[in-house]
Chains A and B, each alone.
Chain A
Amino acid sequence: MKILVFVNHVPDTETKVKVSADGKTIDPAGVNYMLNPYDEIAVEEGLKLREKSSGEVVVVSLGTDANKETLRKALAMGCDKAVVLKDSSPRDSFGVARALADYAKEYSPDIILCGKQSIDYDDAQVGGLVAEMLGLPSISVVVNLDVTDGAIVAEREIEGGHEIVHSRLPAVIIAQKGLNQPRYPSLKGIMDAKRKQIEERVVSAIKPRVEVLAMKKPSAKPPGKIVGTDASAIPELVRLLHEEAKII
């Protein structure tokens, strides 16, 4: 089976957001990057599918040379091949999806796996966009996946329950936390990954459809009220919720 996984290179979850001088993006100074957590789950699922059915797992990331660090992590987990699509100009999800869909068309995978959302812009768009661009079915926020003889049974999260979705390969599967527990790279995996070549391709820039006019930090909340230090504070808390917050 040919398995293609999209992985994004994103600021880690501890990042303190500071707005750059342009007033539209975050200041990259001092920011550490990581493999997007949902994409780590997508990689793990790809590896599990390969273990079940043989074949190869290719990881692709769109960005700059810096994305190679994230691709190496995926290689260290056990992926066979990594590709970086290089474009340093800003893109929105539509532009990202276009380049990834073009690559996928050429590679023609049996299954595409990606994450639910990039934890930088929290767009949650690329998987659905790519699927539509390629005319493939997509299943999002997947927490359980079974692929047998080309037939897919997936469980996806919805409010207050789960949906069981049936589909067929080729398809795009969009991973949610809970789908699996990503493995840690083994020492051998890390050593092997260092030796593997990362294929580079330059892709042409594309004008974003979503234009960021300004970025700011949310206004800090004024300090709250400490109502007390034991259960004797409860009546006062309930009064505040009733009279000030008007909730109860």
Chain B
Amino acid sequence: MKIIAFAEQRNNQFKKTAFEVVCAAKTIADELSAELVALVVGGNVSPIAGELGKYGASRVIVVEDSRLQYYSTTAYAKVIAEVAQQESGQVIFLSASSLGKDVAPRVAAKLDAGLATDCTAIRVENGDCVATRPVYAGKGLTDVRITSPVKMFSLRPNVFSAGTPSSGAATIEKRNVPLTDADFTAAVKEVKASSGKKDVAEADIIVSGGRGLKGPEHFAMIEELASTLNAAVGASRAVVDAGWRPHDEQVGQTGKTVAPTLYIAVAISGAVQHLAGMSSSKFIVAINKDKDAPIFSIADYGIVGDAFEIVPAFSAELKKVLGK
């Protein structure tokens, strides 16, 4: 049996999720006594391909083409599906990152494969992969199995460990997948980076603010706390709808699903739709003046009090402790 792990890169640098996927795929491959093949696609990715050896891939297939420097849904789907077919891969792992979420269904349709998206755990049972995936925004958890011959799983970012890099080495194999203009019917022409801003979907620490902050100007103290912690700024829907914050910061059922190590919720009540997006955070701190706010039901640590007093004190203490 062969397992394919798609290792995502941007600008010829692996994303952390690439290591998470390779490492999780390696664990499953070992249990199934299967061979693991990692796949890297991009413009100039041979120089980095070897890194995957440290995360358990003994073979890495590289598909390089200058037109693949930027992501193209149609071209990437073709490359992944073709390599999977050439290798007769039966199980394919990728990340449920923005790229993974976009490409996975198209690859699944090409391979006639069942796809379980955004999985938070994966295990082997009777020689088959069983994945856990949250449904109803995390209010339910399902265990699923895929019945088609080719099985695909996308893994929620930040949930699986990337392990510690070993000294393992990998053999690198360049593979040519012929592409024509017709394979680029949807192509990225430009990438606009949000000016040095950390994204909630990728951050290890998030400081989120809610309507209790009374106005957009008071997010300055949230930004200060976030920058002290090297964290991303998040927001509840109430403040996004009010236009205080951009909607790419919204956490929740109709915003982003996040799973950081630390989530600090400031003046957020903790409506079910907000909890849906952040309840799988490893540690949750809530600061709210209402002791009955539902956010406290899932917080590990809470302070019942006034954010306007507590947040600046929190930043000041951290600066002292962290020597900033």
Contacts and interface: CB of A to CB of B under 8 A. Distances in A.
A214 B143 contact: yes
Interface centre among B97, B135, B143, B187 (most CB of A within 10 A): B135
Contact of B318 (A38, A216, A245, A248): A248
Contact of B108 (A94, A163, A211): A94
Contacts of B285: 237, 241
Interface string A89-133: 000111001000000000000000000000111111111110111
Contacts of B283: 241, 245, 247
B104 interface: yes
A123 B152 CA distance: 13
Contacts of A28: none
Contact of B302 (A38, A127, A164, A224): A224
B303 A229 contact: yes
Interface string B91-128: 00000011101111110111001111110000000000
B46 interface: no
A123 B115 CA distance: 9
A177 B254 contact: yes
Interface in B139-170: 139-148
A159 B247 contact: no
Nearest to B154: A124
Contacts of A94: 108-109, 114-115
A212 B143 contact: yes
B251 to A, nearest CB: 12
A93 B135 CA distance: 13
Which of B74, B136, B254, B262 is the most central at the interface, judged by chain A CB atoms within 10 Å of its CB? B136
B108 A119 contact: no
Nearest to A139: B186
Given A165-B189, A241-B262, A213 B145 contact: yes
A26 B142 CA distance: 11
A15 B276 CA distance: 12
* Chain A contact residues, majority secondary structure: mixed
A150 interface: no
Nearest to A10: B136
Interface stretch (B23-31, B59-67, B196-204, B212-220): B196-204
B266 interface: no
B316 to A, nearest CB: 8
Interface stretch (B33-41, B47-55, B171-179, B307-315): B307-315
Interface string A221-245: 1011111111101110110111001
Contacts of A30: none
A14 interface: yes
A177 B135 CA distance: 19
Secondary structure at the B interface, as helix, strand, loop or mixed, is mixed
Task: Please classify how large the interface on chain B is, using the bins under 10, 10 to 19, 20 to 34, 35 or more.
Answer: 35 or more
B305 A229 contact: yes
Contact of B136 (A26, A92, A93): A26
Given A167-B186, A168-B185, A120 B306 contact: no
Contacts of B199: 159-161
B200 to A, nearest CB: 9
Interface string A145-183: 000000000011111111111111001000001100000
Contacts of A209: 113-115, 146-148
Contact of B140 (A26, A92, A171): A26
A143 B194 CA distance: 14
Given A121-B135, A132-B109, A216-B141, A159 B202 contact: yes
B313 A137 contact: no
Nearest to A237: B301
Q: Which of B144, B205, B229 is the most central at the interface, judged by chain A CB atoms within 10 Å of its CB?
A: B144
Interface of A: 11, 13-17, 19, 24, 26, 37-38, 92-94, 97, 119-129, 131-133, 136-141, 143, 155-168, 171, 177-178, 207-218, 221, 223-231, 233-235, 237-238, 240-242, 245, 247-248
Given A160-B198, A230-B303, 9 more contacts: A13-B254, A94-B108, A121-B135, A129-B106, A159-B201, A178-B248, A217-B140, A225-B302, A241-B301
Interface of B: 70-71, 73-74, 77, 97-99, 101-106, 108-110, 113-118, 130, 133-148, 185-194, 197-199, 201-202, 205, 229, 247-248, 250, 253-255, 261-262, 272-273, 276, 279, 282-286, 291, 296-306, 309-310, 313-314, 317-318, 321-322
20 contacts: A11-B136, A16-B139, A97-B105, A119-B253, A119-B254, A122-B117, A128-B105, A156-B98, A165-B186, A177-B247, A210-B146, A212-B144, A217-B141, A224-B299, A224-B301, A227-B301, A234-B313, A241-B283, A241-B285, A248-B318
Which 8 residue pairs of A and B lie closest in terms of their CB atoms, listed nearest first? Answer: A209-B114, A128-B105, A132-B109, A231-B313, A137-B186, A137-B185, A17-B139, A160-B199
